[in-house]
Amino acid sequence: MDLQIERKYIVNRWIMNARWFYVLGILCIGMITKQGGRTNVDFSYLSMISIALSVLALNTFFYAYLRRSLKENSITRLNILGFMQIAAELIAFTFVMHQAGGVESIALVFYFLPIVSAATLFGFRGGLISALISGLLVNLLVIFEYYGVIPHIYRYGVLSIEYQYLSISLIKTFTISIFYGIVGIFTGYGAKLLLARENALQNKTLSLTKEKNIVSSMIASFEDPIIFLDDGNNIEIFNPAAEQILGMKIADRGLKIGGNLNMDNFRKAAKTDFKVIQPKYESYELPFEEVSLYYQGKEMNYRVITAEVKGKDGRRYGNMKIFNNVTREKIIDKLKSEFISIAAHQLRTPLTVIKWITKSLMDGESGKINDEQKELLNKGYISNERMIELIDNLLKVSRMEDGKFDLKLTRVNLKKIIDEVVEDMGRIAKNKDVVLVLNEPELWPDIVIDPSQITLVMENLLDNAVKYTPPGRKVEISVGRESEYLKITVRDEGIGIPEKDRGRLFSKFYRSPNAIRVETEGNGLGLYIAKKIIDGHKGKIYVDSSEGKGSAFTVYLPLTTQVLHI
Ligand code: ADP
């Protein structure tokens, strides 16, 4: 309903409701006054009741008119009704005042009612005009009575002082007229203020509703699922894509997600079966998960981000699960991996052949070679070895991504592995004048791991530490226990890792620019593979670094490992 219409409707109804009471009130006053017997009331009880009943009949008519105005949604009708009501009151009160003794009566106060009603209905102007009319009516009444144009009814049956002197009468009516004016202006102004605030509030509500509609339409238009959960992890809103793709039902609203907000805990809400390809382990530098599911007969891959929903004022509303369709990227990625895998396989054999040919040439198996030739062959041999290493890494990555990389877990004591790696790397460190220090624990606990893979991780971490540490500095390996984990830290005093690069360190082929400057060789696969291996052991790997001062890579391996598949 229009605000104006609503307001006029309410005020009109309010005046009508009030009328029941004041008509009864005036009737009572009339009866009591007549009973008092000291006045000149001409009316019989019956005529008093008849007058009251006619006013109430008029009120009923007003009610019918009000209903009709509302049905027709007509502001003009409501204005006419308001006007009729105020006019009726002004006439009725003038009649009552006359009957109650004119200037002698206190019926003058009744006029405040139509003044306030007019101000509320028609604002400032309405209040002022009805105040002026009221003033005019009371003043004319006493003048006409004084000059006998209309008869004066003696209120108390005696000649009162007010009636004797016109000036006294007029002082009284003038004074009250001024009050009428004040009340009219005051109420009109108040009504105007209220109206302005009401309008402002309505505008605000309208713009908020519009904003809300736009936001919900935007969310509904997203092709990928979006789920909003309130602060207590209850599902509150989700878009049509969530219904179609995840099979969520309206009845799921309010469903509580137990535990954390990882996708695995959404199986109760999502009717579509899905596979979590990449769970959100704490150690992942990017806080997302990856799921795959079948929709309309096709395999789809989604990257799922869990984001906190916070207001500008910092108030927390809950969390959102935002799905991002990465099916296409996955297909391209797969094709790329396949290409790399095929290319690597094809390259592996000729490179191995070159390796053995170079080796046999260097060993003089095909005739004696001089030192210069040997030196050149050696350079070729080293480059070839590097290429083989790269290809081995590429093959390993592609096997890991295809899920064909199994860990061969056995119970071992890590001491042997660490000792061997430290010994091997010790030689390289010594050549570079880097000091390698091992801080051993008092007791080496047994641990279930894949020894060759963990050896690979340790070799990579130590190799990096030595590679990125200038001569004369120290690399330290510390092994210890921390709650349920075995903790291995490789700390160096090298070039460090700029903060902006730390998040991407464990991704494929990433090398930070400061490292490329000091060491041109490297393929950026070592840490990627290391992390995959550690994840496969349900362990964690963290980096802590200060640029220019050094880095510390910490590996946590659970003391009870059961995972067999990367
Ligand atoms: P590579 O060493 O072959 O470049 P990695 O995957 O082992 O590849 O390392 C990736 C990148 O991480 C490196 O290129 C380097 O930028 C950074 N990095 C790794 N270890 C260290 C370290 N100890 N000090 C400084 N930077 C490091």
Q: Is the CB of 512 under 6 A from ligand 1?
A: yes
| The predicted structure's pLDDT at residue 564 | 42
Which CATH number is 236's domain given?
3.30.450.20
The CA distance from 79 to 339, in Å, is 82
Q: Is the CB of 456 under 6 A from ligand 1?
A: no
Residue position matching structure tokens 């340790």: 458
The CA distance from 509 to 314, in Å, is 38
Domain count, the chain: 4
Give the range of the structural domain holding residue 180, as residue numbers without chain letter: 3-205
Q: Is the CB of 475 under 6 A from ligand 1?
A: no
Q: Is the CB of 82 under 6 A from ligand 1?
A: no
Contact (CB, 8 A) for 391 and 432: no
Burial of residue 162 (CB within 10 Å: 0-12, 13-18, 19+) is buried
| Same structural domain, 463 and 317 | no
CA of 414 to the centre of ligand 1 (A): 24
| Same structural domain, 274 and 421 | no
Question: Is 480 among the domain residues?
Answer: yes
Strand bridging mode 298-310 / 288-295: antiparallel
- Output the 3-class SS for 511-559: CCHHHHHHCCCCCCCHHHHHHHHHHHCCCEEEEEEECCCEEEEEEEEEC
Average pLDDT by stretches of 10, the chain with 566 residues: 83 92 87 72 81 91 94 92 94 89 86 93 91 96 92 80 86 94 93 88 91 90 94 92 93 86 88 82 61 93 91 91 93 85 89 94 91 93 91 87 82 91 93 94 88 94 95 95 92 94 88 90 91 91 93 92 43
Question: Is 215 among the domain residues?
Answer: no
CA of 511 to the centre of ligand 1 (A): 6
| Same structural domain, 306 and 278 | yes
Residues whose CB falls within 8 Å of the CB of residue 474, separated by 6 or more in sequence, listed in order: 434, 435, 436, 437, 492, 493
Burial of residue 484 (CB within 10 Å: 0-12, 13-18, 19+) is exposed
Indicate the top mutation candidate among 390, 400, 432, 464 to test ligand 1's pocket, ranked by most ligand atoms within 8 A of CB.
464
CA of 525 to the centre of ligand 1 (A): 9
Question: Is 563 among the domain residues?
Answer: no
| The predicted structure's pLDDT at residue 138 | 94
Q: Domain boundary residue among 325, 351, 382? A: 325
Indicate the top mutation candidate among 285, 489, 505, 521 to test ligand 1's pocket, ranked by most ligand atoms within 8 A of CB.
505
Question: Is 213 among the domain residues?
Answer: no
| Same structural domain, 287 and 178 | no
| Same structural domain, 279 and 426 | no
Q: What residue's CA is closest to ligand 1, atom 19? A: 464
The CA distance from 86 to 90, in Å, is 6
Question: Which atom number of ligand 1 is nearest to the Cα of residue 461?
Answer: 20
Question: Is 212 among the domain residues?
Answer: no
| Same structural domain, 433 and 552 | yes
462: part of which helix (H) or strand (E)? helix 451-467
Distance of CA 151 to the CA centre of its chain: 76
Question: Is 565 among the domain residues?
Answer: no
Q: Is the CB of 462 under 6 A from ligand 1?
A: no
| The predicted structure's pLDDT at residue 96 | 87
Q: Domain boundary residue among 263, 295, 325? A: 325
Q: Is the CB of 505 under 6 A from ligand 1?
A: yes
| Same structural domain, 438 and 375 | no
Indicate the top mutation candidate among 507, 508, 527 to test ligand 1's pocket, ranked by most ligand atoms within 8 A of CB.
527
| Same structural domain, 118 and 27 | yes
DSSP bridge pairs for 448: 411
| Same structural domain, 553 and 450 | yes
Q: What residue's CA is closest to ligand 1, atom 13? A: 511
CA of 460 to the centre of ligand 1 (A): 9
Which CATH number is 514's domain given?
3.30.565.10
Q: Is the CB of 495 under 6 A from ligand 1?
A: yes
With the C-alpha atoms ordered 278, 282, 288, 294, is the resulting torsion angle positive or negative?
positive
| Same structural domain, 240 and 321 | yes
Q: Is the CB of 469 under 6 A from ligand 1?
A: no
Q: Is the CB of 529 under 6 A from ligand 1?
A: no
Question: Is 250 among the domain residues?
Answer: yes
CA of 464 to the centre of ligand 1 (A): 6
| The predicted structure's pLDDT at residue 37 | 64
Task: Say whether 377 sits in a helix, a strand or coil.
Answer: helix
| Same structural domain, 432 and 489 | yes
Q: Domain boundary residue among 205, 231, 263? A: 205
Q: What residue's CA is closest to ligand 1, atom 16? A: 512
The CA distance from 48 to 44, in Å, is 6
CA of 516 to the centre of ligand 1 (A): 9
Helix pair angle (75-99, 3-36), 10° resolution: 10
| Same structural domain, 422 and 481 | yes
Question: Is 211 among the domain residues?
Answer: no
